[in-house]
A = this chain, B = another copy of it.
């Protein structure tokens, strides 16, 4: 049996598992119709969408996306109120029912062990004239159902590969490949292995335009034109790094295929000893900025974490601290971690002024510094005035303590930081004992 066959064996739902899912789906679709009738809401069409509808779901995942499609001439208010009315009635038999909000409200619930979304949408005629973001999904569904036939297993294998190497999921946390994107790649390249082989030679700017729609400009590493909407890049959420990690993994897989790409060994958390060894052997300065994670959804939280990380890196560089690497991690606590060449700089800071022959600037520069009691020396180097002055922040920790709130921070993180934060350096980082954080730190020992 090939590696891929072995993988498929583990992840392909059994007929029994599939039957159960299909039964539940039908049950829910009927409940939606009943609920509409009960409330005299006319013209709606219940639809099962997503991987459950396309036979591209991995065994053990129990996600059902039920869309409630309204005629396109429905008003937004009517869609929201009637949509919720139907969804609420259906969810009476569910657990953990939550009303959530994307562009408009929808309901998420647990139903007989399934994670179910009940989503109202407009049943527009074409994906190019959608009225709300979710309206596109039924078109994706139709397109995939029409074209995927016979390739479902290839999708399963690819999804598991993506999961294993950490590039599956288009949420802003992962910035990887969505299910729809994965399906399109399989349809385009014809199989798991030919996708993998092609990806070995991918370069940023690659454009896949299956329907020959012609290309709108996109500035993304990968452009996959949505077959149902020529203006949309299905891979817009994919980051350059996810793109690159995928290419790298494909090459490694071709070189030496193994099950570990699909099912990597669980990473063990670093213990205190490991960590101290890492700090000492690298000899650099690690600084962690720690605060209570704000209670917001990942798609809002992670972009803010990324923004904070970038802001802190920029602050360091502005003050001449040299960065080696940075990262962020969130669970109950949120951490931005930076690694510096050194967290200490000399008290003297060299600052270059104007060239001597630009007399108007020269005068101002000399006057500004001449009387300063923070001046070590003023001299001329390569024709430029140079001053050695007292450095405002010779210690990166003090810099952070003084200036972190001046970094460009997202709203929720700003509030969290204003409630309190701590700054830990090297051995003090051992205070963060969460095993997931200790796994996150493993990336400093990672071997691509």
> Which A residues contact B (CB, under 8 angstroms)?
200-204, 221, 240-241, 243-245, 247-248, 251, 281-284, 324-325, 341-342, 344-348, 350, 355-357, 359, 362-363, 366, 370, 375-385, 388, 394, 443-448
Chain B residues with CB under 8 Å of A342's CB are 342, 344-346
Chain B residues with CB under 8 Å of A380's CB are 241, 244-245, 248, 448
What are some 10 contacts across the A-B interface (CB < 8 A)?
A: A201-B359, A221-B383, A241-B382, A244-B357, A244-B383, A284-B346, A284-B348, A324-B346, A324-B388, A379-B446
A342–B346 alpha-carbon span in the complex (Å): 8
Q: Which of B325, B341, B347, B370 contacts A281, CB < 8 Å?
A: B347
Q: Which of B355, B375, B377, B381 contacts A444, CB < 8 Å?
A: B377
A348–B285 alpha-carbon span in the complex (Å): 11
Q: A245-B356, A248-B362, A376-B444 are in contact. List 20 more A-B contacts (CB 8 A).
A: A201-B357, A201-B359, A202-B357, A203-B357, A241-B381, A244-B355, A244-B356, A244-B384, A248-B380, A251-B363, A282-B347, A282-B348, A283-B346, A284-B348, A324-B350, A341-B346, A342-B342, A370-B447, A377-B446, A378-B447
Chain B residues with CB under 8 Å of A381's CB are 241, 325
Chain B residues with CB under 8 Å of A388's CB are 282, 324-325, 444
A447–B247 touching, CB < 8 Å: no
Chain B residues with CB under 8 Å of A363's CB are 251
CB distance from A341 to the nearest CB of B (A): 6
Closest to A202 in B: B357
A248–B375 alpha-carbon span in the complex (Å): 18
A202–B384 alpha-carbon span in the complex (Å): 14
CB distance from A424 to the nearest CB of B (A): 18
B282–A376 touching, CB < 8 Å: yes
A114–B282 alpha-carbon span in the complex (Å): 66
Q: Indicate whether A362 sits within 8 Å of B251 (C-beta atoms), given known contacts A341-B346, A380-B245, A446-B378.
A: yes
A379–B283 touching, CB < 8 Å: no
A200–B359 touching, CB < 8 Å: yes
CB distance from A205 to the nearest CB of B (A): 9
B324–A348 touching, CB < 8 Å: yes
Chain B residues with CB under 8 Å of A445's CB are 376-377
CB distance from A36 to the nearest CB of B (A): 49
A379–B341 touching, CB < 8 Å: no
A283–B357 touching, CB < 8 Å: no
Chain B residues with CB under 8 Å of A385's CB are 248, 448
Closest to A285 in B: B346
CB distance from A369 to the nearest CB of B (A): 9
CB distance from A199 to the nearest CB of B (A): 10
Chain B residues with CB under 8 Å of A383's CB are 204, 221, 240-241, 243-244
B348–A283 touching, CB < 8 Å: yes
B346–A379 touching, CB < 8 Å: no
A370–B255 alpha-carbon span in the complex (Å): 14
Chain B residues with CB under 8 Å of A247's CB are 356-357
Q: Which of B245, B251, B394, B447 contacts A359, CB < 8 Å?
A: B251
A382–B325 alpha-carbon span in the complex (Å): 12
Q: Which of B248, B282, B344, B359 contacts A356, CB < 8 Å?
A: B248
Closest to A278 in B: B376
Closest to A221 in B: B383
A283–B395 alpha-carbon span in the complex (Å): 12
Closest to A323 in B: B350
A362–B347 alpha-carbon span in the complex (Å): 41
A385–B252 alpha-carbon span in the complex (Å): 14
